[in-house]
A and B are shown apart, each in its own frame.
Chain A
Amino acid sequence: MKNLFIKGAISPEFIAISIAKHQSKKTIGAHNIFLGQVRADMVGENTVKAIEFSCYQEMAEKEMVALRETAFKKFNLTCMHIHHSIGEVKVGEICIFVFVSAPHRKNVYKATEYIVEQVKTNVPLFGKELFYSNTHQWKQNK
């Protein structure tokens, strides 16, 4: 999968260009996008300033390819893109971008939710929550 992992934050420009690239695809009638943003969580007296993401790359790529195949079949999608940040992403910046397209709207809502949940559950990505106090804790998906 092309550009699956992006170093640092996913920029609004990258997202805009990705949308623009689909204007030539005439069978698409609906897009849906999920953007995950780094939140300034409070943990006790500490506040998150950034998350440093890392991954087990070979397994993450394998899981993403499998997820892509499953999602295409399950939701009859025309297009699907997933990008996740690796490295440090500051509060307020985007760390995951899921973009699905199909002829009609109903499937793209379901597909987006399914894909995001599967990424959280099955893809070996790790996140170190960095605090302003220069300490950290490891993020756990709920």
Chain B
Amino acid sequence: MIRITVKYYGEVAEKAQKEEEIINIEESNTQAILDYLKQTYGLAQEVKVAVNLELVTSATTIESTDEIAILSQFAGG
């Protein structure tokens, strides 16, 4: 079990109806966060995950002190 703070941006924040929350997940990796998002908010795989300001594309080990952000599709420009 790990307790982490997760930040939400863009459409993800809209769907979660919050910009940040503290969650408990069984496994210390990003896939466990995606599973939580799917179960809780129905968010599918189109979201992006950033760990300490870097995008990660596969399941990545995380620690409780990491900065985790869940991002919707980029739309700059």
Q: Which residues of A contact B (CB under 8 A)?
A: 36, 51, 53-56, 58-59, 62, 84, 95-96, 116, 119-127, 138-141
Contacts and interface: CB of A to CB of B under 8 A. Distances in A.
Given A62-B53, A124-B71, A56 B77 contact: no
A123 B76 contact: yes
Chain B binding surface SS class: loop
Contacts of B48: 124
Contacts of B75: 51, 53, 125-127, 138-141
A123 B74 CA distance: 7
Contacts of A120: 74, 76-77
B11 A138 contact: yes
B50 A84 contact: no
Interface string B7-37: 1011100100000000000000000000000
5 contacts: A56-B50, A84-B77, A126-B71, A126-B74, A141-B77
B61 interface: no
Interface residues of B, number: 17
A105 to B, nearest CB: 23
B63 to A, nearest CB: 18
Contacts of B77: 36, 84, 95-96, 116, 119-120, 125, 141
A56 B73 contact: no
A141 B11 contact: no
A141 B50 contact: no
